[in-house]
Amino acid sequence: EAGVAQSPRYKIIEKRQSVAFWCNPISGHATLYWYQQILGQGPKLLIQFQNNGVVDDSQLPKDRFSAERLKGVDSTLKIQPAKLEDSAVYLCASSAGLVNEQFFGPGTRLTVL
Amino acid sequence: GENVEQHPSTLSVQEGDSAVIKCTYSDSASNYFPWYKQELGKGPQLIIDIRSNVGEKKDQRIAVTLNKTAKHFSLHITETQPEDSAVYFCAATPTYNNNDMRFGAGTRLTVKP
């Protein structure tokens, strides 16, 4: 069974630029998560989808971050404009349901200069 | 909300020795405590979990203990091997919903051959 796929794996941008990350969850998984993992810290949930609806986006900085999962499968996370403090690894995870085990992708390492 | 503290931040052991990582949590309502292993360049992977109605759980060389009165839980790895080298995260949630889960800051374990 294929795992959670993410791209790109690495991205370097200048501050105030825009960037987008893509995630393809495990086939059949209804729940999808985006996490931000700053160096030396644990993952912090940004947004959680159930199919194509948002379950929780309370920790998403909505002035610059947006995410969508239009067809209930793939998802994109966008940052516009980026700040230096956005440098982190962005992890996507999926689970069969709201309470099931989460499976994480390899992450996208973002560096904002 | 829930706050999880984890220590030590780094741990170095000799191959064959045991390793112990400890976490404390703040929300007495927390009832699910997973542990994740994150290898370099990969996303976190669930290795063991424990629920509040159980004091200890074991799976081969790894075990987790929970003290609800003191609000702390620990990961024990016996007979450590070089492939156990990774960053380990504890987490806690007051519900079984993944969006309420909070992660510790992580422990970097190095097992020296």
- Per-residue model confidence as pLDDT tens digits over A59-103: 999 999 999 998 889 999 999 999 999 999 999 999 988 777 899
The strand pairing partners of B58, in sequence order, are B63
What phi and psi, each to the nearest 5 degrees, are found at residue A11?
-150, 130
Q: How far is A80 from chain B (nearest CA, A)?
A: 24
CA distance B83 to B15: 10
Q: What is the pLDDT of residues A25-66, one digit of tens each?
A: 999 999 999 999 999 899 999 999 999 899 999 999 999 999
Whole-number Å distance between alpha carbons of A90 and A65: 12
pLDDT given at position A16: 97
Q: Who among A41, A55, A91 is closest to B43 (CB)?
A: A91
**What pLDDT score does B2 carry?**
82
With an 8 Å Cβ cutoff, are B46 and A101 in contact? Answer: yes
- Structure-model confidence comparison of residues A108 and A96, the more confident one: A108
The CA R_g of chain B, rounded to the nearest whole Å, is: 13
Interface test with B, best of A48, A89, A90, A102 (most B CBs within 10 A): A102
Query: Would you say residue B16 has pLDDT above 90?
Result: yes
Q: Which band of pLDDT confidence, cut at 50, 70 and 90, is reported for residue B86?
A: very high
Q: Give the pLDDT confidence score for residue B96 in this predicted structure.
A: 67
CA dist., res. A55 & res. A98, Å (int): 9
Other CB atoms within 10 Å distance of the CB of residue A20: 14
The answer, for A49 touching chain B at a CB cutoff of 8 Å, is no
